[in-house]
Amino acid sequence: VSDVLRPSGNELLLFVFDPSETGVQPHGKQFIHSISSPGGDWYTPSSGIWQTVWMERVPRRYIRRLKIDQASTKAVTITAELAGDTAAQLAERVGVIVYDPASGQEIAAADGLAGQAIEVQVPSPRMWSTETPVLYDVRIRTGQDEVLSYFGLRTFALGGGDKKRPLLNGNFTFLAGFLDQSFWPDGLYTAPSDEALEYDILAVGMFGLNMIRLHQKVNPERWYYYTDRHGVAVFQDAPQKYGDASAGTVPYFLSDLKAMIEGRRNHPSILQWTVFNEADCWEVFKPDGIKQTVDLVRSLDGTRLVDTDSGGDANKLGLGDVNDIHSYPAPADVTPSSTQYAMVGEFGGLGAFVSGKEWVAGKCFAYQTAKTPAEQADLYIAIAKTFASRADHVSAAVYTQTTDVEFECDGFLNYDRTNKFDVQQVAAIYTANRAIQHVVAGRVAVESDAGAGFPVVV
């Protein structure tokens, strides 16, 4: 906006048109008809600006964008893109300084040219994981600008021979998590506060889980900062055209997909990209379009795994890294292969309807109704034991869902984020979830303290 600014009296107006489901573009779970006729697993749409927007004064040649490649056990590679004259940009030198997570002291540095990859070797490196989410601060400097960021060293790749497993830093960790819609009763797509964003992440650890499948939505950067900081792995969905997709959907979908990967790839907690969901919109792609889309994701980011179609028929094409099925309420069994690991991408949908917490009284539904929260906890724990018995071949599981959302009342938390369970029930759920991970690791002892390191809120 620099060229149009005046010394004073400036006003910036932004116009956005969002037709929600009446347009051809992806819109996730937002449906206009939910305003007048709420119900089902589609929700009230948002209008206006729902993510954080800010203006910042910068020099003429400023750091426009960073690409942080942290898929390593020993080094981080950073590419700094500068704004300004291209010739000057090519000649600009960029310095990178890495700081120790504990002391804050400088421990490594390197420099190179803008627009080129700069590798910094990290001495005595400590890995980011769901158990130890170590983050390093990093400062990027040019002659005119300076940016402070962070990274977490980790790798996530397939291993295991003929029966593939996802390996985090070369080791198998069973990833058990929530399907997360990230809707709020007051702001819909917008959280009421920064503390609310963090609370949803802390709830994962409170129940003994270690992963979130963020469903058909790209959240604000701050949300991912908390998943990075608290060691919660993220399987990131591409937003879908949920119903009535057409050929006109394809260019919008690909544009959004590219923007999602380029905009969020610097977060170490994101381990996997999910391209399609069920039959929401993959069928409108040309016969070779599914493969081309998966190839596009790999070309944009070759450091993460790719789930072609979570729970849909395109999953049967065997193109991605995951054999991903959906099964409600009980999880069906799923097998790995020599090219894919096995995952239950959605299961559960168990719901106790709490009086006074429903979006509309008497209108709640769930895939399986529980009479009380205690019964919901018991039903879930029985399913968790099923996963423990299949942990020799199943590698990940996603429960639907973190919170109730409008009429869909199958969350562990009510829509207002109050807890459905008492302290004893939370402890039992926590123990059941941690037991899956301990069976896999060959350990016998299981922590009994619910949410160790995470606050238990009931």
DSSP-derived secondary structure letter, 332: P
Enter the tokens of residue 107: 């421990």
76-108 burial string, b = 16+ CB within 10 Å, else e? bbbbbebeeeeeebeebebbbbbbbeeeeeebb
CB 267 within 8 A of CB 227: yes
Tens digits of residue pLDDT in 348-396: 999 999 999 999 999 999 999 999 999 999 999 999 999 999 999 999 9
**How far is 406 from 187, CA to CA, in rounded Å?**
12
**How far is 84 from 107, CA to CA, in rounded Å?**
31
Sign of CA dihedral 113, 117, 119, 125: positive
φ and ψ at 75, to 5 degrees? Answer: -150, 155
Length of the chain: 458
Residue 457: predicted pLDDT: 57
Q: Is the pLDDT of residue 74 over 50?
A: yes
CB 19 within 8 A of CB 9: no
Q: Is the pLDDT of residue 424 over 60?
A: yes
Lowest mean pLDDT among 13-22, 92-101, 212-221, 305-314: 13-22
CB 208 within 8 A of CB 431: yes
Tens digits of residue pLDDT in 299-325: 999 999 999 999 999 999 999 999 999
Q: Is the pLDDT of residue 439 over 80?
A: no
Work out the pLDDT band at 444, boundaries 50, 70, 90. Answer: very low
Tens digits of residue pLDDT in 235-280: 999 999 998 999 999 999 999 999 999 999 999 999 999 999 999 9
Alpha helices in 231-322 (DSSP H): 249-264, 289-300
Tens digits of residue pLDDT in 116-152: 999 999 999 999 999 999 999 999 999 889 999 999 9
**How far is 2 from 349, CA to CA, in rounded Å?**
51
Q: Is the pLDDT of residue 452 over 60?
A: no
Give the SS3 label for residue 402. coil
Tens digits of residue pLDDT in 150-192: 999 999 999 988 999 999 999 999 999 999 999 999 999 999 9
CB 196 within 8 A of CB 416: no
**Does a cis peptide bond (omega within 30 degrees of 0) precede residue 45?**
no
Look at residues 331, 335, 322, 326 and name the one whose alpha carbon lies nearest to residue 393: 335
Q: Is the pLDDT of residue 450 over 50?
A: no
Q: Is the pLDDT of residue 16 over 90?
A: no
CB 50 within 8 A of CB 187: yes
Q: Is the pLDDT of residue 443 over 60?
A: no
Question: Half-sphere exposure (CA, 13 Å, Cβ side) for 139?
Answer: 13
Distance set, CA 248 to CA 22, 153, 245, 277, 284 (Å): 12, 39, 8, 18, 9
β-bridge mates for residue 121, sequence order: 75
**Residue entry with tokens 């610097």:** 266
pTM: 0.93
Residue 447: predicted pLDDT: 38
Q: What's the mean pLDDT in 329-339? A: 96
Distance set, CA 351 to CA 206, 210, 372, 376, 412 (Å): 19, 21, 9, 6, 8
246 C-beta neighbours (distance < 10 Å), count: 10
CB 162 within 8 A of CB 120: no
**How far is 205 from 208, CA to CA, in rounded Å?**
5
139-150 burial string, b = 16+ CB within 10 Å, else e? ebbbeebeeeeb
First to last CA, the chain: 48
Tens digits of residue pLDDT in 189-239: 999 999 999 999 999 999 999 999 999 999 999 999 999 999 999 999 999
% of the chain surpassing 90 pLDDT = 81
What is the enclosing helix (H) or strand (E) of 377? helix 373-389
β-bridge mates for residue 136, sequence order: 151
Question: Side chain identity at 422, as an amino acid letter?
Answer: D
Q: What's the mean pLDDT in 19-40? A: 91
Cβ-based neighbours of 26, under 8 Å, separated by 6 or more: 238, 239, 240, 241, 242, 249, 252, 253, 256, 281
Work out the pLDDT band at 445, boundaries 50, 70, 90. Answer: very low
**How far is 217 from 211, CA to CA, in rounded Å?**
16
φ and ψ at 59, to 5 degrees? Answer: -70, 170
Count of helices and strands (H, E) across the chain = 8, 20
**Does a cis peptide bond (omega within 30 degrees of 0) precede residue 401?**
yes
Q: Is the pLDDT of residue 290 over 70?
A: yes
The mean of the pLDDT values for the chain is 92
Question: Half-sphere exposure (CA, 13 Å, Cβ side) for 385?
Answer: 7
